[in-house]
Amino acid sequence: MADIIRVILSVLLPPLGVFFQVGFGLQFWINIVLTLLGYIPGVVHAIWIIARN
């Protein structure tokens, strides 16, 4: 159930979903950069991080 909530958060605000999964790590900052470069790359990266862990 928690992963579903993280995926929903990742679609709305990708860095928030990554933050709840890994905290303030390298993946969080990568996701911030990807989201600033384009919304879709940030969403894809966030869902990939949630699915991987």
pLDDT of 1-36, one tens digit each? 888 988 998 999 999 999 999 999 999 999 999 999
C-alpha–C-alpha distance, residues 40 and 25, integer Å: 21
For residue 44, what pLDDT is reported? Answer: 96
pTM reported for the whole predicted model: 0.90
For residue 3, what pLDDT is reported? Answer: 81
pLDDT(53) > 90:
no
C-alpha–C-alpha distance, residues 29 and 3, integer Å: 20
Query: Is residue 35 within 8 Å of 44, Cβ to Cβ?
Result: no
C-alpha–C-alpha distance, residues 37 and 21, integer Å: 21
Domain spans of the chain, in order of start: 2-52
Task: Spell out the alpha helix ranges (H) of the chain.
Answer: 2-12, 14-22, 26-37, 39-52
